[in-house]
Structure 1
Amino acid sequence: MLYRVEGIVIRSMDYGEGNKIITLCTENAGKIGVLVRGAKKVKSRHAALTQLFTLGEYVFFRNGTGLGTLNAGEISQSHFRLRGDLYLAAYASYACELLDRILQDEETGSFWFQQLKACLAALEEGKDPGIVLNLYEMKILQTAGYGPELDVCISCGSERSDEDLLISPRLGGVLCKHCRHLDPPAIKIYPRSLKMLRIFAQLDLRQLGNITVREETKVELKKVMRGFIDMQLGINLKSRNFLDQMEKYDI
């Protein structure tokens, strides 16, 4: 059966001497693997369609639920700037790998697709990559069913002032000081950072404008979102390890 989908390349790997297998996050068909014959050859007309972060229309044949075989394609947005900048490529790779690990094969992924599309566009437009990824991580958590509780204590349900709230990545939300014994490692957070998290919870990535955030707030947000991703999703990402090394040595 012949399929025509709009998709983003979230993974690309060599297969055999001259071929590649790409993984597409599509708007209406979920996550799909497609074999691209001859993609490694110098004169291949399909080589550009296999590049990471590429957004395009892909036409492929598939019999059953296995790999598809690419027939044709057309690029809508190559995102070459992301691939050409080591710093941006690291952030974009993390966004793609995170979605790849969360999204199941052929799971309906319209919202996933739209958020990844908006994430890559925001990175290419020069918006703060740390904030873009934190917002993207929040959307991933929410869509996967692990959105944090940020308004009332996740244990007792009481409303407290922001100054009396801690963040518990393990329990999945804010924790009042009276319930801190339930999670002693809960993170102290400044009210301005908690307000930013609530904005992340309400905001769609497609609505993100230019935003300026204090450096100390960005450090806190990264720590908190990293905690939620680790505790709630429990996945180890190669791209994140590279991103950490790059930031550590200020590459």
Structure 2
Amino acid sequence: MARELKEVQGIIFKRQKFHEADLLAKIVTQKNGIITMIARGALRPKSKLGASLLNFSFGTYVIYSSGQGLSNLRTYKNVKQFDGIFNDLTKNAYASFILDLADHAFIEYQNIGKYYDLLFYALQKIDAGTDPEMITQMVQMQLLAAYGVAPELRHCVICGKEQGEFDYSIKQGGILCSQHFYVDSARLHLLPKETAVLRTIALLPFERLGTVKINSATKKATRKAIDRIYQETIDLNLKTKKFLDELNLSM
């Protein structure tokens, strides 16, 4: 496939040294999905490319690409950075996990559509100081669909009831109303308000991310619930998640 010069808009989220002076960087883009770029000579003192590839930088990158494999970074325009995330360990940990989660949900060059907006908005909110734990839980719940395991949260999976008390069933793939709790003895046994939070953050338009405020006990319960949902349906083993968990334990 022929290489062509193209401009992509996106967010840098991983980088590593490649050979003596080159850099490999991953970027999540609006229209071209996740791309791995090679920046030749980016680590040389006089190169300007390296500064544009710091994690949580975003802007326009001009690349040679064939739509598969490595793309070559030629230059960049209007690159800025989420400084609040870059300079804060906790924000950095949450943002890294969010982008790592997205990286595992899609193959390279796959158009990720609305999920780019979700990710960008989430980073904006974390950068600005909105509770990163709550933002991360929202992204986790909304990314389940990208993994092909979107739960049914609008109504009971058995009878379709939309109002009342509910619990979450991993086995049934969604919520159960109180009349059908007996269907799954291994349901998560959440309090009604905890299930309500899971429903809200999964169904909330991303433009309203950060508007949900809950107490620390509920937030801890929903975090444990989401962790179980991911473990039992997707079974990822991400270093960014392990680091985030360690960070939370030490706080």
User: Match for residue 11 of structure 1?
Assistant: 14
Answering whether residue 121 of structure 2 is matched by residue 118 of structure 1, we say yes
User: Match for residue 214 of structure 1?
Assistant: 215
* Number of residue-to-residue matches in the alignment: 248
- Measured against aligned partners, the alpha-carbon deviations of 1:105-148 in whole angstroms (never above 9, x if no partner) come to 11111212111101111101111111100111122113443222
Structural mapping, 1:149-168, within 5 Å = 149-154=152-157, 156-159=158-161, 162-163=164-165, 165-168=166-169
User: 1:209–1:62: structure 2 CA closer, same or farther, 3 Å change rule?
Assistant: closer
| Counterpart Cα distance in 1 of 2:103 and 2:239 | 12
The residue type paired with residue 49 of structure 2 is H
Q: Give, in angstroms, the shift of residue 195 of structure 1.
A: 2.1
User: 1:20–1:188: structure 2 CA closer, same or farther, 3 Å change rule?
Assistant: same
User: Match for residue 243 of structure 1?
Assistant: 244
- Measured against aligned partners, the alpha-carbon deviations of 1:8-63 in whole angstroms (never above 9, x if no partner) come to 11221211111111111111111111101122233320112211121110001124
Answering whether residue 55 of structure 2 is matched by residue 40 of structure 1, we say no
- Measured against aligned partners, the alpha-carbon deviations of 1:62-87 in whole angstroms (never above 9, x if no partner) come to 24622111111124431122121111
Q: Give, in angstroms, the shift of residue 90 of structure 1.
A: 0.5
Further displaced range: 63-72 or 238-247: 63-72
Cα-Cα RMSD: 2.0
User: Match for residue 54 of structure 1?
Assistant: 57
So what's the TM-score if we normalise by structure 1? Answer: 0.90
User: 1:168–1:213: structure 2 CA closer, same or farther, 3 Å change rule?
Assistant: same
The residue type paired with residue 196 of structure 1 is V
Structure 1 unmatched runs, 5+: none
User: 1:64–1:166: structure 2 CA closer, same or farther, 3 Å change rule?
Assistant: closer
Kept after mapping to 2: 8 A contact 1:4/1:57? yes
User: Match for residue 197 of structure 2?
Assistant: 196
Kept after mapping to 2: 8 A contact 1:2/1:61? yes
| Counterpart Cα distance in 2 of 1:25 and 1:41 | 25
| Counterpart Cα distance in 2 of 1:48 and 1:183 | 53
- Measured against aligned partners, the alpha-carbon deviations of 1:130-185 in whole angstroms (never above 9, x if no partner) come to 1100111122113443222124333x33528643x321234321234565565433
Q: Give, in angstroms, the shift of residue 199 of structure 1.
A: 1.8
User: 1:191–1:63: structure 2 CA closer, same or farther, 3 Å change rule?
Assistant: closer
Kept after mapping to 1: 8 A contact 2:135/2:210? no
| Counterpart Cα distance in 2 of 1:147 and 1:64 | 28
Give the alignment partner of residue 89 of structure 2, picking from 83, 86, 90.
86
The residue type paired with residue 236 of structure 1 is N
Further displaced range: 171-180 or 43-52: 171-180
Q: Give, in angstroms, the shift of residue 225 of structure 1.
A: 1.6
Structure 2 unmatched runs, 5+: none
| Counterpart Cα distance in 2 of 1:187 and 1:45 | 51
Kept after mapping to 2: 8 A contact 1:170/1:231? no
Q: Secondary structure of the residue that 1:96 maps to in structure 2?
A: helix
The residue type paired with residue 225 of structure 2 is V
Further displaced range: 167-176 or 41-50: 167-176
Q: Give, in angstroms, the shift of residue 232 of structure 1.
A: 2.4
| Counterpart Cα distance in 1 of 2:207 and 2:215 | 22
| Counterpart Cα distance in 2 of 1:76 and 1:192 | 42
User: 1:160–1:204: structure 2 CA closer, same or farther, 3 Å change rule?
Assistant: closer
| Counterpart Cα distance in 1 of 2:200 and 2:129 | 20
User: Match for residue 71 of structure 1?
Assistant: 74
So what's the TM-score if we normalise by structure 2? Answer: 0.90
| Counterpart Cα distance in 1 of 2:188 and 2:67 | 48
User: 1:37–1:128: structure 2 CA closer, same or farther, 3 Å change rule?
Assistant: same
